[in-house]
C-alpha cells in the first residue's frame, strides 16, 4: 500500500532511540523529510546520520529540551510548515502517590504532558491556518489501564488522551487531524535493561529477563516497528477520515479482564 507520504515533512520528538527512532525510520522509508528532536545531541546526530545513509530524504537534527519554556514555539519556527507532528518525547517516573513528590511530578509533566500540549498548540496554529496537517501523540497504555504504582504516568497519560480526543473531535472541520497511539510494553533497550536489572535482583541471573514478559499477549512486548507502522498509517492520507481517536498497540492487554477463557 502506498501511504502517499513521499515529499511530506514530519517532526518527530524523542527521536534518538526507541519508539521515536523507529517512527523516524518508518517515515523516512515512506519518503518523508524529517526534523528530529531529542535532548541528547550525540544520540540525535547518530540517528540522523543513520537515517540519511539509508533513505533519500533530508534530515535535520534539533537537540532541544522541550520542557523549557519557549522551546515549542522556537521549534515550530525552525520547522516551518511541517505536515506531520509526532509527539513522543518524555518519560514519567514510576511510583505511588507517597513516593513521587511534587518536584518530580511537575518535572515529568513539564516534558511529556505540557510538552505535548505546547508543541501541539504551536504546530496546530500553523496547520489550521493552511487547512492541512496531522498530529499524532504517542502516549501510553497507563492512560486507560490505571496503575497505582505509576500514578503520575497514569494521570498524565489519561489527560493526554482526553486532550487528543477533545482537539481531534472538531479539528477535521478545518483540515487538521489529531490522533494518538497508546503503546503497551515495547521491546526497547530501556525495558530490556530494566528487566535485566530486576532479574539480577530477584533471581541472581540477568539472563532470566524474558520471564517477565510471559504474561503479555504472545508472550512478548510489541516491537518498536509495530508502533511505528501504525503511526505512519495514521499520519498518511490513507487515514484521512480518522481524528479524535486513540489506538492501543498492546495485543489486547488493556481489554483483558478476569480469568483466561482457555
pLDDT at 1: 84
Can you tell me the distance from the alpha carbon of 199 to that of 216, in angstroms, rounded to the nearest whole number?
17
pLDDT at 253: 87
pLDDT at 261: 52
pLDDT at 79: 94
Residue ranges of the chain whose pLDDT lies below 50: 262
Domains of the chain: 9-186+222-243 (3.40.50.720)
Residue 136, phi then psi, degrees to nearest 5: -120, 120
Cβ(117)–Cβ(68) under 8 Å? no
| Burial classification of residue 185, based on how many CB atoms lie within 10 Å of its CB (0-12 exposed, 13-18 middle, 19 or more buried) | buried
To 10 degrees, what angle do helices 113-130 and 102-111 make?
20
The answer, as to whether pTM is greater than 0.85, is yes
Short-list 32, 41, 43, 36, CA closest to 20:
36
pLDDT at 199: 84
DSSP H/E element including 9: strand 9-13
Q: Could you give the dihedral angle defined by the CA atoms of residues 194, 111, 66 and 168, in that order, rounded to the nearest 10 degrees? A: 110
Cβ(167)–Cβ(178) under 8 Å? yes
- Exposure string of 186-225, with b = 16+ CB inside 10 Å and e = fewer, is bbbeebeeebbeebeeeeeeeeebeebbeeeeeeebbebe
Can you tell me the distance from the alpha carbon of 99 to that of 118, in angstroms, rounded to the nearest whole number?
28
Angle at alpha carbon of residue 231, lines to 120 and 84, rounded to 5°: 40
Count of beta carbons in the 10 Å neighbourhood of residue 96: 12
Short-list 242, 116, 236, 117, CA closest to 171:
242
pLDDT at 260: 57
Can you tell me the distance from the alpha carbon of 142 to that of 157, in angstroms, rounded to the nearest whole number?
7
pLDDT at 257: 62
pLDDT tens digits for range 64-116: 999 999 999 999 999 989 999 999 998 888 889 999 999 999 999 999 999 99
Amino acid at each position: 500500500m502506498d501511504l502517499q507520504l513521499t515529499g511530506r515533512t514530519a517532526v518527530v520528538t524523542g527521536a534518538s532511540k526507541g519508539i521515536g527512532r523507529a517512527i523516524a525510520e518508518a517515515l523516512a522509508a515512506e519518503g518523508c523529510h524529517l526534523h528530529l528532536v531529542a535532548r541528547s545531541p550525540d544520540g540525535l546526530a547518530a540517528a540522523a546520520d543513520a537515517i540519511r545513509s539509508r533513505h533519500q530524504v533530508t534530515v535535520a537534527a534539533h537537540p532541544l529540551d522541550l520542557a523549557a519554556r519557549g522551546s515549542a514555539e522556537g521549534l515550530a519556527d525552525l520547522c516551518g510548515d511541517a505536515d506531520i507532528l509526532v509527539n513522543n518525547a518524555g518519560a514519567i517516573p514510576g511510583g505511588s502517590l507517597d513516593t513521587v513528590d511534587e518536584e518530580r511530578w511537575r518535572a515529568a509533566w513539564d516534558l511529556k504532558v505540557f510538552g505535548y500540549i505546547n508543541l501541539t498548540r504551536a504546530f496546530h496554529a500553523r496547520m489550521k491556518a493552511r487547512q492541512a496537517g496531522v498530529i499524532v501523540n504517542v502516549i501510553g497504555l497507563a492512560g486507560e489501564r490505571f496503575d497505582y504504582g505509576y500514578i503520575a504516568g497514569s494521570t498524565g497519560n489519561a489527560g493526554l488522551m482526553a486532550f487528543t480526543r477533545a482537539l481531534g473531535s472538531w479539528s477535521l472541520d478545518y483540515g487538521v487531524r489529531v490522533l494518538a497511539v497508546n503503546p503497551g510494553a515495547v521491546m526497547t533497550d530501556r525495558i530490556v535493561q530494566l528487566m535485566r536489572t530486576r532479574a539480577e535482583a530477584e533471581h541472581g541471573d540477568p539472563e532470566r529477563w524474558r520471564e517477565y514478559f510471559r504474561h503479555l499477549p504472545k508472550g512478548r512486548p510489541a516491537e518498536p516497528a509495530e508502533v511505528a507502522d501504525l503511526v505512519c498509517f495514521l499520519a498518511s492520507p490513507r487515514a484521512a477520515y480518522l481524528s479524535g481517536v486513540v489506538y492501543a498497540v498492546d495485543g489486547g492487554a488493556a481489554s483483558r479482564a478476569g480469568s483466561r477463557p482457555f
